[in-house]
């Protein structure tokens, strides 16, 4: 497998452009800068965070005329083999082709930190390790998108747009981005007075896995079981009629969407990472992580030689946000139903930015 990947990385991109040819006399290797992304196991296809990264990298490649290679391994072992092959190639090549290696997965954290100094041998090789608050020692840049402020907004808005029960589904208690997003949502939820004193909105927090980096994929049958368990949470077995799901669990969110539709349960959900407001019958609003735009910006910084050692982005930077669909606004915010006298979005955003800054400073 390693040999095959080595040949793939040194011979061509998905467009067929030549990167390196070991046989003298053949046409010269391409000198166009190359961006390679290695995702976590089975991450692409989540229609969420990782797919937005793919979209952003390809948009940057089109904008700046770059070559790309994006790899989604089927297992952690295969992913580590990809990463090691990447390090071998980038530290040993002696050409002047600029190469950027990007990985967004915490599953490679220990390996990245133990090996990133190897890239110092190649002045044309760079590394971008995403979504960590701890900068790398030695070569390589890092950044972190703070989701706390946007999720604080979401927690506040849930008090206006949900009824009976909000089910906060978190992938696991170890992934920092997930944990902090959950904390932000809960803080916003409890900071906002309930609209009804007789029937206050309930919040139930549930982790899908007790394993590090677990909970981002889930079987449809498991999702259906969890859905039924959540609908019977509030009243000790009597069940509830309305549940709003907040699935901070990557691609696993889609298993809950499918399960709820299949079983014809009345529910709503909060879109996570991407804008899902087109699903107007179910999505009450979306909490965005503009990772696609961030990727375009970072590729530009890399090309200009100005990629920062470490950076934290958040609601104030426009890296995250919350948006309400036109349908929700017209039928709920301006009506007399759930969103009557709902929040002023601009004011709420400023409060959330302040909460995010205060927490970051602490």
Question: Which CATH number goes with the domain that contains 157?
Answer: 3.40.50.2300
**Residue 284: its H or E element:** strand 283-289
Which range, 39-43, 159-163, 280-284, is most confident?
39-43
Provide the residue range defining the domain that includes 134.
2-145
pLDDT-derived band at 17, boundaries 50, 70, 90: very low
Q: Let me know whether 187 and 237 are in one domain.
A: yes
User: Do 98 and 156 lie in a common domain?
Assistant: no
96 in the same domain as 75: yes
In a domain, residue 23? The reply is yes
Domain boundary pick from 129, 145, 161: 145
**201: which residues sit within 8 A by CB, 6+ positions away?**
158, 159, 162, 163, 164, 165, 166, 194, 195
Q: Specify whether 130 is located in the same domain as 274.
A: no
Which band of pLDDT confidence, cut at 50, 70 and 90, is reported for residue 195? confident
Single residue among 145, 178, 210 that ends a domain in this structure: 145
Domain end, chosen from 130, 145, 160, is at: 145
User: Does 254 share its domain with 166?
Assistant: yes
Cα within 13 Å of Cα(296), Cβ side: 13
122-141 in b/e burial notation, b at 16+ Cβ within 10 A? beebbbbbbbbeebbeebbb
204 and 271, same domain (yes or no)? yes
Q: 240 and 137, same structural domain? A: no
For residue 219, tell me if it sits in a domain: yes
Contacts of 285 (CB under 8 A, 6+ apart): 154, 157, 161, 270, 271, 277, 322, 323, 324, 325, 328
Note whether 185 and 328 are same-domain residues: yes
- Give the model's pLDDT for residue 239: 67
* 5 touches 36 (CB < 8 A): no
Same domain (yes/no): 230, 333: yes
Per-residue model confidence as pLDDT tens digits over 45-68? 888 899 999 999 999 999 999 999
Can you give the pTM of this predicted structure? 0.85
Q: How confident is the model at residue 115 (pLDDT cuts 50, 70, 90)?
A: very high
Q: How many domains does the chain have?
A: 2
């Amino acid at each position: 497998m390693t040999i095959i990947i080595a040949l793939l990385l040194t011979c061509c991109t998905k467009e067929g452009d030549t990167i390196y040819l070991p046989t003298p006399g053949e046409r010269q290797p391409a000198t166009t800068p190359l961006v390679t992304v290695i995702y976590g196991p089975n991450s692409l296809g989540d229609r969420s965070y990782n797919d937005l990264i793919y979209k952003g990298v390809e948009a940057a490649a089109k904008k700046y005329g770059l070559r790309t290679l994006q790899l989604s391994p089927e297992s952690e072992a295969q992913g580590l083999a990809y990463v090691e092959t990447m390090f071998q190639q980038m530290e040993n090549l002696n050409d002047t082709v600029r190469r950027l290696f990007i990985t967004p997965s915490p599953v490679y954290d220990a390996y990245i930190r133990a090996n990133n100094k190897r890239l110092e041998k190649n002045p044309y090789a760079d590394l971008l390790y995403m979504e960590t608050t701890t900068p790398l020692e030695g070569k390589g840049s890092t950044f972190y998108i703070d989701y706390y402020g946007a999720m604080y907004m979401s927690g506040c808005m849930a008090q206006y747009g949900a009824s009976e029960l909000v089910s906060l589904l978190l992938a696991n208690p170890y992934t920092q981005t997930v944990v902090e997003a959950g904390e932000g949502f809960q803080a916003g939820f409890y900071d906002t007075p309930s609209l009804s004193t007789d029937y206050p909105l309930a919040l139930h927090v549930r982790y899908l896995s007790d394993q590090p980096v677990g909970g981002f994929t889930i079987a449809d049958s498991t999702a259906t079981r969890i859905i039924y368990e959540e609908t019977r949470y509030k009243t000790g077995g009597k069940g509830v009629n309305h549940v709003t799901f907040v699935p901070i669990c990557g691609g696993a969110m889609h298993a809950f969407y499918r399960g709820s539709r299949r079983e014809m349960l009345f529910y709503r959900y909060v879109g996570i990472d991407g804008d899902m407001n087109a699903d107007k019958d179910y999505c009450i609003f979306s909490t965005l992580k503009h990772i696609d735009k961030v990727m375009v910006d970072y590729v530009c910084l890399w090309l200009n030689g100005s990629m920062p050692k470490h950076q934290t982005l958040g609601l104030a930077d426009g890296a995250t946000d919350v948006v309400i669909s036109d349908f929700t606004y017209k039928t709920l915010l301006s009506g007399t139903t759930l969103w009557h006298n709902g929040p002023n979005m601009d004011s709420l955003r400023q409060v959330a930015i302040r909460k995010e800054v205060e927490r970051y400073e602490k």
